[in-house]
């Protein structure tokens, strides 16, 4: 009887493994380097993005806290599949997002599953909402990009209308990327309460499961 139970347990574990492999289509995106190296690369990318905008880089304790969190999350310190940069206007959220986009492009990173180069497109939330109108197959492809940055989440209309049909593009996008575990970075000026008011508790719960939050507490750099 004991041998039969052990054999059954082995078969169950083998079945679980096969079923799990069938559902694993995406790896958790991370930078292929140590935490300390990631900090160096991220700092360089951020500085490059600031200089590209003809601004002066200002390093402070808030920036260092953001740098440490982002480097930790992007080098395997999290099981979640995304980041959310939260805070008031003008305090570096979009600059960080563009710096990450620049870094991924500059490092020529490849997806270990399909061996294709990672591309990290950045979309403004309003533009995404408008992109949903028209060719639905094209919109489905956009929602399933391997990596994506959604800038200014919450500034877009909650609903859009197309030929009498009402769509909720950002809710659909979040739902799709949640279900398929696609790595996503969001920036937003909205508080948790405002996000729930905009998208509902179910979507906010999914966002909480998807992303690590980096709260930007510094004042605006736009002065």
For 41-88, the pLDDT digits (tens) are: 999 999 999 999 999 998 999 999 999 999 999 998 788 999 999 999
pTM as predicted: 0.86
Domains, the chain, in order of start with CATH, read: 80-216 (3.40.50.300)
Q: Could you report the per-residue pLDDT of 91-128, keeping only the tens digit for each?
A: 999 999 999 999 999 999 998 888 889 999 999 999 99
pLDDT at 214 > cutoff 80:
yes
pLDDT at 2 > cutoff 70:
no
Q: Is 123 exposed, middle or buried (0-12, 13-18, 19+ CB in 10 A)?
A: middle
């Amino acid at each position: 009887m004991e041998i039969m139970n052990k054999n059954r347990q082995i078969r169950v574990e083998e079945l679980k493994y096969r079923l799990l492999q069938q559902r694993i289509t995406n790896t958790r995106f991370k930078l292929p380097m140590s935490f300390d190296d990631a900090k160096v690369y991220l700092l360089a990318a951020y500085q490059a993005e600031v200089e590209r905008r003809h601004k002066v880089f200002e390093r402070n304790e808030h920036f260092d806290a953001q740098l440490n969190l982002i480097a930790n999350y992007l080098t395997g310190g999290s099981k979640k599949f995304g980041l959310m940069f939260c805070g008031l206007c003008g305090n570096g959220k979009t600059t960080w997002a563009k710096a990450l986009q620049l870094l991924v492009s500059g490092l020529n990173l490849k997806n270990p599953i399909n061996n294709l180069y990672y591309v990290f497109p950045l979309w403004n939330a309003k533009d995404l909402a408008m992109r949903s109108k028209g060719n639905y197959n094209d919109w489905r492809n956009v929602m399933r990009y391997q990596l994506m940055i959604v800038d200014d989440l919450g500034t877009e209309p909650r609903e859009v209308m197309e030929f009498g049909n009402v769509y909720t593009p950002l809710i659909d996008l979040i739902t799709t990327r949640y279900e398929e575990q696609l790595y996503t970075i969001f920036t937003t000026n909205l508080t948790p309460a405002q996000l729930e008011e905009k998208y509902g508790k179910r979507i906010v719960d999914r966002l909480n499961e998807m992303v690590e939050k980096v709260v930007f507490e510094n004042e605006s750099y736009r002065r």
